[in-house]
């Protein structure tokens, strides 16, 4: 690569997150299947999905009465569809308009609603619990910070992140899009700088190894004081 190409690469401006995510689905950057939209193996491999659903159902069933859930980054809804019946109402959010329209046609339940929102920019729906499954790992630190500021409106937060196994330097910044921090041997940790999420309780619900790292699901009870 010559100096001109190096300079162009350094000066490359990131796409808006919406455009980047639309490209992911248009070009099947997370893999393809017979489905018109595919949110990647993390949303379809049974060894990843089945234990996740089991852990979330256990959490949701622990309440005396069903709670409301907001799924921030619902993707193709192959996972979320397994959780709706255990909630009072379920609001599924994604940034890609075409995906949300497809989901509205494919999944129709009385307590289910889909909304097309940019979770870093738009006002988020009201609910008891927010689910953010393998979403923050794809967006920049600046956008993660914007999301974090809004998560204090929820009593409970369940976050799933793909991180390196063992010790790693957390929260190395990336450009929002298809990739994750794994390539930089990093991963999201909401409790440390620059995010410093304030919580009153933390509980790891699940840890799954996938050969590239570990997929960790953590429940936080948010400090709303």
Q: Is the pLDDT of residue 31 over 90?
A: no
- Residue 10 pLDDT: 47
- Residue 193 pLDDT: 97
Residue 160, helix vs strand vs coil: strand
Q: How confident is the model at residue 216 (pLDDT cuts 50, 70, 90)?
A: very high
Average pLDDT of every residue of the chain: 87
Bond preceding residue 194 cis, omega within 30 of 0: yes
Q: How confident is the model at residue 42 (pLDDT cuts 50, 70, 90)?
A: low
Higher pLDDT among residues 128 and 8, named by residue = 128
As a CATH number, domain 11-222 is 3.40.50.150
Q: Is the pLDDT of residue 9 over 50?
A: no
Say if residues 157 and 111 touch (Cβ distance below 8 Å): no
- CA 124 vs CA 16, 36, 91, 118, 197: distances in Å: 19, 27, 10, 9, 18
- Residue 1 pLDDT: 46
The tokens for 172 are: 């190395």
């Amino acid at each position: 690569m010559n100096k001109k190409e190096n300079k162009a690469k350094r000066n490359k401006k990131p796409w808006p997150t919406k455009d980047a995510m639309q490209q992911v689905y248009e070009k099947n950057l997370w893999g393809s299947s017979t489905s018109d939209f595919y949110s990647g193996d993390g949303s379809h491999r049974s060894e990843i999905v089945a234990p996740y659903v089991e852990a979330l159902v256990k959490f949701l069933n622990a309440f005396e009465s069903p709670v409301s859930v907001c799924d921030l980054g619902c993707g193709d809804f192959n996972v979320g569809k397994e959780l709706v019946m255990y909630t009072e109402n379920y609001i599924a959010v994604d940034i890609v308009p075409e995906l949300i329209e497809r989901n509205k046609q494919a999944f129709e339940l009385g307590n289910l609603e889909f909304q097309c929102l940019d979770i870093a920019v738009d006002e988020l729906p009201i609910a008891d619990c927010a689910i953010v499954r393998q979403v923050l790992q794809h967006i920049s630190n600046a956008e993660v910070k914007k999301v974090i500021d809004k998560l204090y409106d929820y009593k409970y937060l369940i976050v799933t992140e793909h991180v390196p196994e063992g010790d790693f330097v957390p929260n190395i910044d990336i450009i929002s899009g298809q990739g994750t921090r794994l390539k930089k041997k990093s991963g999201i940790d909401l409790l440390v700088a620059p995010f410093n999420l304030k919580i009153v309780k933390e509980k790891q619900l699940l840890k799954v190894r996938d050969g590239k790292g570990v997929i960790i699901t953590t429940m936080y009870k948010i400090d709303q004081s």
